Amino acid sequence: MSAANVGAPFAAAAVVPLLALRWGMHQSALAGGLILSGVIMATARFALRERRRNTLFLRRRPSRRCPRCKGFGLIRCDMCDGEGIVRYEKKMSHVDLCPQCLLHRCSKCTMCGGSGERPMLNASSARNAASSRADV
């Protein structure tokens, strides 16, 4: 059977004899193995990237962590102290769900905005803050 009669999936097998003509059989097997492993690695990397993009995965905490939320991006709700309900005790005892966290018991960190990274103070905001303090 010639290479022209072979279907498209087996067309890559026709490359190995061409490599064997230029190098020895061992070198061509090594080159073919390297090419095949490169294709497999690229496919695996693409599949992992797509899986991370389409599903929920745990991201690593940043090395420069926010001091308030310790890099998690979430803090305990200030209004209900992490209970999810608010107790009103004026004239009558009344229990209601927390209007700030809505029973989630935590809220986004106000210092880092939920990113978990330490907030950076850039030069322009530092100058604006200094000028506003000088005006007062």
pLDDT digits (tens, 9 = 90+) for 55-107: 665 666 556 888 888 888 889 988 888 888 888 877 777 888 888 888 888 88
Residue at token pair 């850039």: 122
pTM: 0.40
User: Cα–Cα distance between 118 and 116 in angstroms, integer?
Assistant: 7
> May I ask the CATH class of domain 61-120?
mainly beta
Residues 102-120 have pLDDT tens digits of 888 888 888 888 888 887 7
